């Protein structure tokens, strides 16, 4: 990314606020957070984002994401 | 067939997937992933239940369950534990399907926190919707033969009545209703919840259940890996006992040694 001052956009990830640069795809958002996209499922504004489109769907100002994975359970 | 062949051929099938082990184990409440993995190994389980939860954004590199229990070797059965409405459960399983890439899921919709008894109205509603969306739900339910029938009609691929409240370890409370569910069902029936010790698992299998699902009985045993092995034996023993057909009960004694030829 160029060294210009960019306007950040505001999103919510797993219930918390986060500022990210504009123009990211969801895969880039996950990478920025440090998450392996292969190990999670993503919901964007209550809609499932199919795994196959994670690298094409964009992140928009005001989006709300849920990023989940499998944990121990009965 | 020999006895060995008989035992080997005794598989069960749910939604077109065939398994040899009739024990499904949960992956909650363990002290460590290592202990959890060792218990799964000792149990011989081919299916484990897992929950769907938010990734910890603050520390995304924490070890994950999948690093210790390989989803390629063991079938992950995502559950909806903690969901109290059909909508919450459906939302959770849509995410689970995307995370795992398979349709076989465990549905549970709880009615209240105190008993964790299932809310059957919501459970039935969720089952219908999930089936419409192409899921294959194995459904946790009350030990009620009518409710079980309704779930089966709605498309549940397995009926999973509780033996006793989740995590209580009280054992099978109502053998009559479990037996009635088994007799009436055309899909597999697995006791889910309530098992406390190995004999409880054997009882479930002797009632004719296709399998048993448990978590706390193993995870909270003093030696969880040893208990996992005990449960494996109990499920196998109960199953063989069911297949063998137990003797009839008598009110009084009947000597095992011949009465003839007594000195």
Over residues A31-58, the mean pLDDT reads 94
For each of chain B's 263 residues, which pLDDT tens digit applies?
Answer: 566 766 667 999 999 999 999 999 999 999 999 999 999 999 999 999 999 999 999 888 888 899 999 999 999 999 999 999 999 999 999 999 999 888 999 999 999 999 999 999 999 999 999 999 999 999 999 999 999 999 999 999 999 999 999 999 999 999 999 999 999 999 999 999 999 999 999 999 999 999 999 999 999 999 999 999 999 999 999 999 999 999 999 999 999 999 999 99
Q: How confident is the model at residue A2 (pLDDT cuts 50, 70, 90)?
A: low
Please tell me the predicted confidence (pLDDT) of residue B167: 93
Q: Which of residues 105-164 of B touch A (CB under 8 A)?
A: none
In this model, does residue A1 exceed pLDDT 80? Answer: no
- A15 touching B (Cβ < 8 Å): yes
CA distance A11 to chain B (A): 13
Q: Could you tell me if B72 lies within 8 Å of chain A, comparing CB atoms?
A: no
B16-32 residue pLDDT tens:
999 999 999 999 999 99
pTM score:
0.91
- Is B62 touching A (CB cutoff 8 A)? no
Q: Provide, as residue numbers in chain A, all residues whose Cβ is less than 8 Å from the Cβ of B66.
A: 39, 69-70
User: Within an 8 Å CB–CB cutoff, is residue A70 touching chain B?
Assistant: yes
Res B102: pLDDT = 87
Catalytic residues of B, by residue number, are 106
| A41 neighbors B91 (Cβ within 8 angstroms) | no
| B123-129 own/partner pairs: CB under 8 Å, 24+ apart | B123/B86, B123/B151, B124/B150, B124/B151, B124/B154, B125/B86, B126/B80, B126/B86, B126/B89, B126/B90, B127/B151, B127/B154, B127/B155, B127/B156, B128/B154, B128/B155, B129/B86, B129/B90
Max CA separation in chain A (angstroms): 50
Calculate mean pLDDT across residues A26-34.
94
The tens digit of pLDDT for each residue in B184-230 reads: 999 999 999 999 999 999 999 999 999 999 999 999 999 999 999 99
Element (H, E) at A64: strand A64-72
Substitution target in B38, B98, B135 with the highest count of A β-carbons within 10 Å is B98
Hey, is B246 helix, strand or coil?
coil
Which of B36, B54, B101 shows the shortest C-beta gap to A67?
A: B54
């Amino acid at each position: 990314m160029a060294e210009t001052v960019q306007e950040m956009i505001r999103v919510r990830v797993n219930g918390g606020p986060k500022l990210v640069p504009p123009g990211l795809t969801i895969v880039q958002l996950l990478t920025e957070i440090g998450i392996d996209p292969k190990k999670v499922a993503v919901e964007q504004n209550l809609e499932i984002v199919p795994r196959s489109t994670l690298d094409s769907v964009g992140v928009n100002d005001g989006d709300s994401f849920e990023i989940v994975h499998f944990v121990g359970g009965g | 067939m020999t006895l060995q062949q008989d035992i080997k051929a005794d598989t069960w099938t749910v939604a077109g997937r065939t398994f040899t082990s009739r024990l499904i184990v949960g992956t909650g409440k363990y002290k460590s992933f290592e202990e959890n993995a060792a218990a799964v190994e000792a149990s011989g389980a081919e299916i484990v239940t897992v929950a769907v939860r938010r990734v910890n954004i603050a520390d995304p590199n924490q070890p994950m369950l999948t690093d210790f229990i390989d989803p390629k070797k063991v079938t992950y059965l995502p559950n909806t534990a903690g969901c109290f409405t059909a909508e919450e459960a459906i939302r959770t399983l849509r995410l689970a399907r995307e995370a795992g890439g398979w349709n076989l899921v465990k549905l549970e919709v709880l009615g209240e926190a105190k008993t964790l008894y299932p809310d059957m109205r919501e459970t039935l509603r969720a089952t219908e919707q999930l089936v419409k969306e192409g899921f294959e739900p194995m459904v946790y339910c009350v030990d009620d033969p009518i409710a079980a029938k309704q779930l089966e009609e709605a498309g549940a691929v397995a009926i999973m009545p509780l033996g006793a409240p989740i995590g209580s370890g009280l054992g099978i409370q109502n053998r009559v209703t479990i037996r009635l569910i088994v007799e009436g069902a055309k899909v597999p029936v697995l006791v889910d919840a309530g098992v406390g010790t190995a004999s409880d698992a054997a009882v479930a299998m002797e009632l004719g259940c296709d399998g048993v699902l448990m978590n706390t009985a193993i995870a909270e045993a003093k030696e969880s890996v040893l208990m996992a092995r005990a449960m494996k034996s109990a499920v196998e023993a109960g199953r063989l006992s069911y297949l063998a057909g137990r003797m009839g009960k008598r009110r009084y004694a009947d000597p095992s040694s011949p009465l003839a030829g007594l000195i």
